[in-house]
Amino acid sequence: MTKRVRFRQWGKPVEVAEVIDVDLPRPGPDEVLVQVEAAPINPSDIVKFGGGYGYPPKRATLPIDCGAEGVGRVIETGGANSRFRAGQLVALSWVAGAWSERLVVKETSLVPVPDDVDPPQAAMVVNNAASAWLMLEDCVRLEPGDWVIHNAANSALGHYLVALASRRGVRTIGVVERGDVAEGLKRAGADVVLEAGADLPRRVAEATGGALLRVAFDAIAGAATMALAECLPAGAGIVNFGLLSGEPCQLPSAALIFHQIKLSGFTILGSLARRSADQNTAMYRQLLDLMASGVLRAPIDRTYRLDQLHVALAHAQSRRRAGKVLLVP
């Protein structure tokens, strides 16, 4: 038996999430039994409870096991020729039920993690770090000296994005809700950090010397999309990859018609699917090496055990938190 987080009906996370006991099968020839050490609570996990983010209630089947990424250690392999070994640290790649004590997963859903990588940081490599990498790689052709702007910049993904952009010579403007997080973001590599609010386009222009921004990355949607559009020159694009506001992207017709602002969406699963397995493996290896060297590091606010699930979920939704919330089963 092992403990796992599951929900059986749509609703608010703290009302419908439950920790249950489930039986675990022995791993098959191409499977591995993993003991989970840490698993992040991502915004995409939160909105799934209400039927959002690709989980519309009419098309998704309940119950749903929670969590999609994390890090753990191999306990047992099912095949004699497995490429994994007992005790090896591995990242869980898009595994349903990552919020578990233990789980049996396909070997193809595991990413080997070097021993010199901090496990809580490795828990975020599959979604947050890889998303930042792929957004910079796939969404627009960026050259050294180019400027990009992104909101919810103090998120784990935001920290990874500024660090990776800095390595490319790409300059970043991070838009945040609170000024007290600016220093941490600048240490990660941000060139400019500004608070959201009135006069954002003017403040962006002053901070960049009037430089033309190439692209905006939008994690919030709603009115935040329009705020980013007002900072962009004609013909630039906005890439929406999240809906922290819970609202559709707002973009006036004038921005689309007269300024030719382009709005597109990003999903990491789509980007991964367009690449070969070897390309994705190489990307994860580079990201993990950067984590080991300290170049990539996202702030972690607090960790919680599974028996603290509802407190953890409430904390993960708090606008005052200063980093990622992780479950440590």
The two three-digit tokens of residue 235, written as one number: 């013909």
| Predicted local confidence at residue 45, as pLDDT | 93
- Kindly report, residue by residue over 96-137, the tens digit of the pLDDT: 999 999 999 999 999 999 999 999 999 999 999 999 999 999
**Residue for token pair 């789980």:** 103
| Predicted local confidence at residue 133, as pLDDT | 98
With contact defined as beta carbons under 8 Å apart, do 271 and 247 qualify? no
d(CA 38, CA 24): 19
| Predicted local confidence at residue 121, as pLDDT | 97
| Predicted local confidence at residue 60, as pLDDT | 72
Q: At 246, is the pLDDT very low, low, confident or very high (cuts 50, 70, 90)?
A: confident
The CATH number of the domain covering residues in 2-124+298-327: 3.90.180.10
Query: Would the pLDDT of 52 be above 80?
Result: no
To the nearest whole number, what is the mean pLDDT of the chain?
Answer: 95
d(CA 323, CA 318): 10
pTM of model > 0.85: yes
Torsion from C-alpha of 211, 214, 217, 223, nearest 10 degrees: 70
Q: Within the chain, where are the H helices?
A: 13-16, 43-48, 119-122, 130-138, 156-168, 182-188, 200-208, 223-229, 253-257, 268-273, 277-293, 309-316
Residue 29 in 3-state DSSP?
Answer: coil
| Predicted local confidence at residue 61, as pLDDT | 83
DSSP character string of 266-309: --HHHHHHTS-HHHHHHHHHHHHHHHHHTSS---EEEEE-GGGH
Q: At 55, is the pLDDT very low, low, confident or very high (cuts 50, 70, 90)?
A: low
| Predicted local confidence at residue 320, as pLDDT | 86
Query: Would the pLDDT of 233 be above 90?
Result: yes
| Predicted local confidence at residue 59, as pLDDT | 66
With contact defined as beta carbons under 8 Å apart, do 75 and 103 qualify? no
Superfamily of domain 136-269: NAD(P)-binding Rossmann-like Domain (3.40.50.720)
Q: How many CB atoms lie within 10 A of CB 89?
A: 19
| Predicted local confidence at residue 56, as pLDDT | 63
| Domain chopping of the chain, boundaries | 2-124+298-327, 136-269
d(CA 44, CA 67): 9
Q: At 155, is the pLDDT very low, low, confident or very high (cuts 50, 70, 90)?
A: very high
| Predicted local confidence at residue 58, as pLDDT | 59
